[in-house]
Amino acid sequence: MAEGVSVALCTRNGARFLAEQVQSICKQSTPPREIVVSDDGSSDDSVEVVRRTIRESVAAGAIDLKVFENARPLGVTRNFEQAVTACSQGLIALCDQDDRWHPERLERMTACFDARPELLLLHTDARLVDADLAPLGQTLFHALEVQPFELDAIHGGRAFDVLLRRNLVTGATTVFRRELLVAALPFPKEWLHDEWLGAIAAATGRMDVLEQPLIDYRQHGSNQVGAARPTLAIKIRKAMDSRGSKHVDRAARAQALLDRLLALGDRVTGDCVELQRANVAHQRFRAELPSSRVARVLPVIAEAMHGRYERFGRGRQAVLQDLLEKG
């Protein structure tokens, strides 16, 4: 028997787009049983738009609705944590306020969970659209420059290896089993909720990806997290930018994940703990590089020759960044 789906919908001043999004949820070929709205201090009528749209879209009681209204904003990660914690169904679909789901999204994704009891988390590609839902001519995976070897590794059960290099899990495209929360809660402050759920799913079980776009992912200038394929000029500018605190922040993220994996003990599969130890060491190496570009050359080359930039980052792109960034 198919598991029910809860939708964790987080809102903040999203009234402009919410009616279309909620309609697309209610009109799924396999509708959810529950929508949990966590509103993060909206000054518009976001919550009322959700309530009204559900009333107009489905029969009374067809979809349960829970609403949380935060007097003080929690921020993106804490708001999603509140929403998913309140979800009651076996599967939880993360939901942004400004997208539009394709009609078969939940049917396609729940079928994968029904067929694969070991699957903890599933994410998909998305079609990028503008504020008026006009296609932008590319998908999320194209913007992220997702490579075939990364997809093959995820399909082959090596998702943790991929996520050691970079995150590919976008919350708006994600459905996961509620049981994942036993290991994932609480979400650490160093991580975004979707990245964290992906990492914990990959470390404790199986996650996978559908390569088809199953939502329209709006890009409208006000996204809290958006997607755009970087040009060569942008890549060069980023490589020569100031080091700032980003490497220290990455090291803190890596340590937070290692701490959780150690706390989870034998629930962690394979060699994930040892891989994460090595990742922590690499991120600390990058964070502690000297400010002088000249003084970085030899240690960066040595680290690259050991293969750690390729294993725990974007390879040559990360090497060039560490060589060229301002101290």
CATH number at residue 107: 3.90.550.10
Domain shared by 132 and 207, yes or no? yes
Domain shared by 40 and 163, yes or no? yes
- Average pLDDT in the 98-102 region? 97
Partners of 215 in beta bridges: 101
Domain tally, the chain? 2
Confidence of residue 238 (pLDDT cuts 50, 70, 90): low
pTM (2 decimals)? 0.93
Domain boundary among 185, 218, 251: 218
Domain shared by 114 and 90, yes or no? yes
Domain shared by 165 and 101, yes or no? yes
Domain shared by 104 and 38, yes or no? yes
E-strand spans in the chain?
Answer: 5-11, 34-39, 64-69, 91-95, 100-101, 119-129, 135-139, 175-177, 206-218
Quickly count: other Cβ atoms within 10 Å of residue 239's Cβ: 16
Domain shared by 171 and 288, yes or no? no
Domain shared by 183 and 254, yes or no? no
Domain shared by 243 and 197, yes or no? no
CB proximity list for 158: less than 8 A, separation 6 or greater = none
pLDDT of residue 224: 46
Domain boundary among 186, 218, 250: 218
Q: Is residue 39 part of a domain?
A: yes
**Mean pLDDT estimate for the chain:** 94
- What domain range is 144 assigned to? 5-218
pLDDT of residue 227: 61
Q: Is residue 223 part of a domain?
A: no
Domain shared by 43 and 166, yes or no? yes
Kindly report, residue by residue over 33-45, the tens digit of the pLDDT: 999 999 999 999 9
Q: Is residue 271 part of a domain?
A: yes
Q: Is residue 252 part of a domain?
A: yes
Domain shared by 166 and 127, yes or no? yes
pLDDT of residue 132: 94
Domain shared by 157 and 262, yes or no? no
Q: Is 151 left (phi over 0), alpha (psi -120 to 50) or beta?
A: alpha
Domain boundary among 161, 189, 218: 218
Domain shared by 137 and 282, yes or no? no
